[in-house]
Chains A and B, each alone.
Chain A
């Protein structure tokens, strides 16, 4: 299922999903992709090409911050993302809205379902 409508749902929610992931604990690019891909069955495969641009925008908006630190495995630098105070506030607002929103949409779906019967 990959219609235009579904793609738009995914696109809209991805920013919130990323904020959730980053708010849980400081994380880096590859870990984010791996975690997202555990839900690939529903969300579809996460690609850096989609995730990074959103990370840049969240960072620009001051919702997340990053720091460079040496990676344990290869000695190279890794970028670690963490949520800012402002990001946490925004996430709370978004979550609250999302709950209301899904409940509201569910109501409509319920009405449509009962009309069908």
Chain B
């Protein structure tokens, strides 16, 4: 039964809320049947294969498979973009805030500069990661647009 429910879960292409509802109902189907003395095998025999059961529901209330893939792509692009902006912002901010340190360091001894430069690597790295992530986001967007046509 657990296995059956898991397989239905995998085969469903509906919104998260709908999926939760379908799986809850499926558990009730098994529970009610058990209550009436039906075995799990009997219920599964009546339900048909998990894929069949899920497809029936997909057909009635689901978004199509391509639509689902598009939604997932769009979510990925959003995540990468947000990550890019955050990395860039963090990198640039710590760069700028380190300028006064630099000024002090400049008039100070050599050792202070050394520490400064070792520290500077992190914001630089963030900026690079940010730019790279942005490039990935742009490429993904172009691909997504092309797929939409």
Contact = CB atoms under 8 A, between A and B. Distances in A.
A29 B31 contact: no
For this complex, into which size category does the number of interface residues on chain B fall? 20 to 34
A52 B27 CA distance: 13
Contacts of A54: 60
Where chain B touches its partner, the secondary structure class is helix
B23 to A, nearest CB: 12
B59 A53 contact: yes
A45 B46 contact: yes
Nearest to A34: B36
Contacts of A71: 31-32, 35
Interface string A22-61: 0000001110000000000000010111101110110010
A43 to B, nearest CB: 15
A12 to B, nearest CB: 14
B48 interface: yes
Nearest to A76: B31
Interface in A63-86: 71, 73-74, 76-79
B21 to A, nearest CB: 8
Interface residues of A, number: 21
A52 B28 contact: no
B74 to A, nearest CB: 23
B48 A30 contact: no
Interface string B31-54: 111111000000000111000110
B61 interface: yes
25 contacts: A29-B25, A29-B28, A29-B32, A30-B35, A30-B36, A45-B46, A47-B46, A47-B47, A48-B53, A49-B52, A49-B56, A52-B22, A52-B25, A52-B29, A52-B56, A52-B57, A53-B56, A53-B61, A54-B60, A56-B21, A56-B57, A60-B61, A73-B35, A76-B28, A79-B25
Interface of B: 18, 21-22, 24-25, 27-29, 31-36, 46-48, 52-53, 56-57, 59-61
Given A48-B46, A53-B57, A74-B34, 20 more contacts: A28-B32, A29-B28, A29-B32, A30-B32, A49-B46, A49-B47, A49-B56, A52-B25, A52-B57, A56-B18, A56-B22, A71-B31, A71-B32, A71-B35, A74-B35, A76-B27, A78-B28, A78-B32, A79-B24, A79-B25
